[in-house]
Structure 1
Amino acid sequence: MSLDAQTWVWDHSRSKGTARMVLALIADRCLDRDYIAYASVPALMKRANASRTAVRDALSKLTKDGELKRLDDRKGPRGETYYKLPNAARFLAEQAAEEGRRTAPTDPKSAPPDSVAGGPESRPGEQIPRPGGSRFRPEEIPRPRTVVNRR
């Protein structure tokens, strides 16, 4: 999901400079279709290579412009702030609805399978067999020569 959010930031966001970078870093952490992610100011500072003041200014500008919404009722595992990208969520939902209108319903028999038969996604936890003969088997292991220093 973060790829959709990141693509929206790079293609449609009106933010500039550090604000754009901070928004992209938050978009990188989005995991679901609600485009919600958590981040801390120190983590954003480190990843954006920006000062605390620059990150805080960027967050307030993004919030003021409506590209980022702070969710005060939720906290991350270490007390991080949750953010939502409302414009990205709205845009991508509209795009998905438009795609749904353009495509006709397909026959379930003709739809491509979700995963390749026999692939690792079809049976999680099962070990993938290794082809025979792929191990390195030296014929003889050379032994290091010991040098005796005789005077």
Structure 2
Amino acid sequence: MTLDAMHWVWKHSQSRGNARLAMLFVADQVRTPACEVRLSYADFVEALNASRSVVKAAVQKAAESGELEIVEQGKGTRPSLYKLPKAVGFTRPTASSGPESGPLDTPRDSPSGPESGPLSPNRDHASGPESGPEWAGIRPSSGPESGPHSPSPSPSKQEAPEQPAGSSDWGIPDEVRPLVDSMTASGVIVRWPFKGDQWFPVIALIRKCGIPALVAYARRTADRTHIDSARYFMRGWTELPPAPAAGTPVVRHLRPVAGQSPEDRGIF
């Protein structure tokens, strides 16, 4: 349910910026078919690493879009109940299996019989992160797919840590690796303690602001004080503006020169 809800947000939600981060956090916490979960503002503040006012604006914007519903307002120590109405009943597509993923034919007179071949439609042969343990570290999938008829994962998959799709051997998603490399090359050498679904807010910020803006902010901040962890930058990154659209004209400010008119400076 968690991965289905998160897949819906990633692929179908129209939310942007902080509202999208709030939606992803709600989807990550969903554990019921109704896509409902109780969360406090303190939970959002910790997850988005942002101020309460920023979180409140993000949740309100997501609610106004209709993609996030506040079913029940919090009262006292009881958190509010949130719901992703458009993700209810949604099932993420699984990797298809067919002739390309296995032998083209299985002899019917083989000892194992036709149903033991790799092309049996009753068996799940999806590979990759979606068929393994959930990113949030909840539990491996159970049921018929994990029974004795499902193929045993290779040793490399058993030993690999839970990571988003496309993670490198260092535990850093491929989409985040350019940011890490640019930070290190610019002299901002910090720890990246994110694990599993904790990388999603970083990926969202890369898509929102662009790597140059994130690196420039980190470089300015690191010049003022010693930074040990990349988590330190998350609050500031969250408040950066989105990257300008392609083709946006660049306005350069010119310093006035004594005795020079605006026309001489090219300002009309």
CA deviations over 1:51-73 (Å, ceiling 9, x no partner): 11111111111111101111127
What CA distance in whole angstroms lies between the structure 2 residues aligned with 1:48 and 1:8?
19
Give the 5 Å matches for 1:12-51: 12-51=12-51
What CA distance in whole angstroms lies between the structure 1 residues aligned with 2:2 and 2:9?
10
| TM-score normalised by the chain length of structure 2 | 0.34
Q: Show the counterpart of 2:155.
A: none
What CA distance in whole angstroms lies between the structure 2 residues aligned with 1:17 and 1:116?
41
Q: Give the C-alpha shift of residue 114 in structure 1.
A: 4.6
What CA distance in whole angstroms lies between the structure 2 residues aligned with 1:115 and 1:9?
27
Q: Show the counterpart of 2:67.
A: 67
What CA distance in whole angstroms lies between the structure 2 residues aligned with 1:82 and 1:116?
36
Where 2:147 maps in the other structure, the secondary structure is coil
Q: Show the counterpart of 2:88.
A: 89
Question: Does 1:116 pair with 2:147?
Answer: yes
What CA distance in whole angstroms lies between the structure 2 residues aligned with 1:49 and 1:115?
37
1:80 partner amino acid: P
CA deviations over 1:39-90 (Å, ceiling 9, x no partner): 11111111111111111111111111101111127x69x4111101012226
Where 1:38 maps in the other structure, the secondary structure is strand
What CA distance in whole angstroms lies between the structure 1 residues aligned with 2:48 and 2:36?
19
2:24 partner amino acid: A
What CA distance in whole angstroms lies between the structure 2 residues aligned with 1:42 and 1:20?
18
**Higher relative contact order structure (alpha carbons within 8 Å, sequence separation ≥ 6):** 1
Q: Percent identity at matched positions?
A: 33
Question: Does 1:8 pair with 2:8?
Answer: yes
What CA distance in whole angstroms lies between the structure 2 residues aligned with 1:115 and 1:67?
33
Q: Give the C-alpha shift of residue 115 in structure 1.
A: 3.7
What CA distance in whole angstroms lies between the structure 1 residues aligned with 2:146 and 2:12?
32
Q: Max radius of gyration: which structure?
A: 1
Where 1:67 maps in the other structure, the secondary structure is coil
Where 2:67 maps in the other structure, the secondary structure is coil
Structure with higher strand content: 1
Q: Which residues of structure 1 form unaligned runs of 5+? A: 97-109, 118-151
